[in-house]
Amino acid sequence: MNTYERLDNGIRLKSGTETTEITFLSEDIVKISRYTSRKAPELAVTLGEWNMKSSLTESDGIILSTGSLAVTVREDSIVFSAKQEFLREVHHEISDGASQIDYMASGDGFYGLGQHQGLFNYLGNEVVLSQRNPTETAVPLLVSSARYGILWDNASLSKLKLVEEAGYASIAYWAERGPVTYYVIRGNTVDDVIAGYRKLTGQVPLLPKWAYGYWQSKERYKNQAELLQIADQFKKEKIPLDVLVQDWMYWGKHGWNALRFDEDNYPSPSELASQLHDAGIRLMLSVWSNFGRSTEVYREFSQKGYLIPGSLNYDPFNEEARRAYWARLQELLKLGIDGWWLDASEPELNKPIDEASDLGIWSFYTGLHDSQTAMGPGANVVNAFPLMHTKAVYEGQRSVTDKRVVILTRSAFAGQQRHSAIIWSGDIHHDWGVLSGQIPAGLNFSVSGIPYWTTDTGGFFSGDPSTPSYKEIFIRWLQWSTFTPIMRVHGTWYAKEPWRFGEDGKQIIKSYIELRHRLFPYIYSVARMVTDGYTMMRPLFMDFDDRQVLNISDQYMFGPSIMVCPVTAPSTRRRVYLPKGNWYDFWTGKAIAGGSLIEVDSPLNKVPLFVKEGAIIPLGPADQSLSVPVSQLELRVYKGDNAEFFFYDDDGETYAYERGEFARVPFSWVERERKLKIGDQQGPFKRPNMKIDLVLVREGKGAGKDEGQPDWSTNYEGKQIEINL
């Protein structure tokens, strides 16, 4: 055994030119740093060294323990255990060049790692961690069904290979550039593991209320008049709309990504934003990280050395460059822009090659990987480009206003959740296979600790809405999108506003947008749970201790109560696995016993949805603006077991909730006594009184989107009420 040095919260060992530091950051999180001449740059992790004490004994190795987690260091391995061994590092090769670490790991399922289309349980697969449109994002967090996770804080191109062996899984981690720091996170649940990841890398800010509504986007709306016409048509059709998105090329004569509007097509952007706001609609704007040579912003950034050498892309690893980038966006913020679409945030896809026309045509190139950044060689930090890019915008906006930040971007790295970042799955096509692959991609991304994820509903490369085949796939896609963290429609080739799909298609689409609004009290309350450590879009293994669910990639829980079973083939029936326990069919109210595989009807106007018994779901009006406090709730109780739910509210716009300005109302159902308890409001946020209609769900009552006939009604004024039924 090599000699070691005792640290306050761990040990340091040396072997030749190599140093290994093992330090505890909490009872359930331990950090392993292996390096030779330099330590790895730590971009993902923001948690400083905690003074977490651990005991040390020497018996068959050096044993460090907090009581919850023990690490045993031997000549040939590092063993991690919590009552029983769950992970063992068995081999490592560390250098400033390529590095590799091999593990023996417990668990029958392994998830996370960002977004990789069509893959769910990674056991038996090799995964490359890189940022590539349209399918790949690199978040180096691997989560085991055995309730632990490994976070590698290394931003170089990386690769993992997971092989099932007799009684364990073999994991080989390779990074193009060393050294390597990794964290082992242990929990009693998968939620605990994700909470540990966020303790390390940052919590999730609450998005503004409007972000949880319906987004309409396309490539592209071409002028101010068209945007206002679209908003007006939604109003005429009586279809809720919360966000309109202006895609690229609005800069016109000013040059590629000039970060200003062409006055010929957008004569008054501030008036545009104002009129949309008056209609209850928010405006998101596409902004890029590279600039045409003819633009003012390019000239400024070039003169000041803010560009990555040899490219037209600013260097987000340069703090001064980040501030300069935000200064340009701040001028747009003053016009009334509500959210930022950071398009093409992959480090390898950012170089316009048609310099003469300045049209922004791009191609793959070696890019950041072979360049220098303010933090050194690009190869060392290439996967962290989107993290630093979103940092520029999030920290910039937080420094000048209390208005909540909303960022939509296409790539992600560990820690990006702290920047109010929503990730979408890239420029995908519109076929059933792609739709099917989106679901496990979104589930794994959620398990990666970054909860806000979305997709180009109907595919970026769209079909013709007038054709029955595309209408069917779009409706199925939109039904699923209703139950994703962000409900967003976008694409090219054809417009995809609801009225483009014929009267029958429009009515189905409208009904799901209305259902999204009906569910808003539930969704926003779950969003606050996310800010407190929860995950909204949940693979079944997170909630059910059932081996059957480890490989189910086409069903999931949306929040604690609703199981979503998307239809991903041209069919009017699908098979559904109901985990053990009793369930309710959302559309009929019929109770169904779980623990088996069933076949359910799924006509084009219905996506199969099931609610766990012992659930409370608050619903609001279908036509209510999300900017207006909820004043009427339909409280659906799914009997059969005790239930509780915390309804949450705040101003929906600012960070006052971080200062304690919010309201929580606890609802609980006591099954044995058939009693509903509504507790005192918690928190000082002043909100209007609420009319509450209680509906006990049963077959034919409290079912579907429409309002149910109440079993009991009251006016809630913030004080406790008990109802015996």
Q: What is the pLDDT of residue 607?
A: 98
> Which amino acid would we find at residue 712?
W
List the structure tokens of 484.
Answer: 């994703």
Closest listed residue to residue 25, CA positions, set 76, 57, 64, 61: 64
Which of the two residues, 628 and 671, has the higher pLDDT score?
671
Query: Among 619, 693, 682, 676, which residue's Cα sits nearest to residue 642?
Result: 676
Which CATH topology does 615-724 take? Answer: Immunoglobulin-like (2.60.40)
Q: With bands split at pLDDT 50, 70 and 90, how would you rate the model's confidence at 2? A: low
Residue 467 has pLDDT above 90, yes or no: yes
343 in active site = yes
Query: Considering 346, 456, 497, 585, which one is annotated as catalytic?
Result: 346
**Does 140 sit behind a cis peptide bond, omega within 30 degrees of 0 on the bond before it?**
no
Q: How open is the CA angle 360-361-365, to the nearest 5 degrees? A: 110
pLDDT of residue 497: 98
**34-73 per-position pLDDT tens digit:** 998 888 788 999 987 677 788 888 888 899 999 999 999 9
Catalytic residue among 136, 343, 613, 651: 343
Q: Are strands 214-216 and 632-638 parallel, antiparallel or unpaired?
A: unpaired
**Contact in structure between 322 and 315 (CB atoms under 8 Å):** no
CA–chain centroid gap for 320, Å, is: 28
- pLDDT level of residue 625 (50, 70, 90 thresholds): confident
Task: Tell me the CA distances in angstroms from 462 to 90, 285, 509, 531, one per residue in order.
Answer: 48, 21, 16, 34
CA atoms within 13 Å, Cβ hemisphere of 580: 6
Whether residue 144 is predicted with pLDDT greater than 80 in this model: the reply is yes
Query: Looking up tokens 């950012």, which residue turns up?
Result: 350
State the CATH architecture for 537-609: Sandwich (2.60)
pLDDT at 116: 92
Asked if the model's pLDDT at residue 725 lies above 50, the reply is yes
| Model confidence band, residue 640 (pLDDT cutoffs 50, 70, 90) | very high
Helix boundaries (H) for 482-591: 502-518, 520-531
pLDDT at 499 (0 to 100): 98
| Residue-wise pLDDT tens digits, 582-600 | 999 999 999 999 999 999 9
Supply the pLDDT for residue 366.
Answer: 42
Asked if 96 is an active-site residue, the reply is no
Lowest mean per-residue pLDDT among 4-13, 535-544, 565-574:
4-13
Mean per-residue pLDDT for 521-550?
Answer: 98
**What tokens appear for 535 in the block?**
């995950």
Q: Please, what sign has the CA dihedral across residues 678, 680, 684, 689?
A: positive
pLDDT at 350 over 90: no
* pLDDT the model gives residue 113: 98
The DSSP 8-state label assigned to residue 160 in this structure reads E
Beta partners for residue 307, in sequence order: 314
pLDDT tens figures, 673-688: 999 999 999 999 999 9
pLDDT grade for 478, boundaries at 50, 70 and 90: very high
pLDDT band per the 50, 70, 90 thresholds, residue 355: very low
Read off the tokens for 60: 């068959």
Q: Residue 500: is its pLDDT beyond 90?
A: yes
Answer positive or negative: Cα dihedral of 478, 483, 488, 490. negative
What confidence tens digit (pLDDT) does each residue in 220-271 have? 999 999 999 999 999 999 999 999 999 999 999 999 999 999 999 999 999 9
| Cβ-based neighbours of 510, under 8 Å, separated by 6 or more | 237, 238, 239, 498
pLDDT tier, 348 (very low <50, low <70, confident <90, very high otherwise): low
Cβ contact 347:387 at 8 Å:
no
Residue ranges matching CATH 2.60.40.1760 in the chain = 4-201
Indicate if the pLDDT at residue 468 is higher than 50.
Answer: yes
Band of residue 30 on the pLDDT scale cut at 50, 70, 90:
very high
Which fold does the domain 4-201 belong to in CATH? Immunoglobulin-like (2.60.40)
Q: Hey, what are 203's tokens? A: 């919590």
Q: Across all residues in the chain, what is the average pLDDT?
A: 94
Calculate mean pLDDT across residues 205-232.
Answer: 98
Residue 185 pLDDT: 98
**Which residue intervals of the chain bear CATH 2.60.40.1180?**
537-609, 615-724
The residue behind tokens 């039924």 is: 725
At 365 the pLDDT is: 35
Instruction: Give the predicted TM-score (pTM) of the model.
Output: 0.96
* Catalytic-role residue among 247, 427, 613, 711: 427
Predicted local distance difference test score (pLDDT) of residue 53: 81
Structure tokens at 348: 């390898």
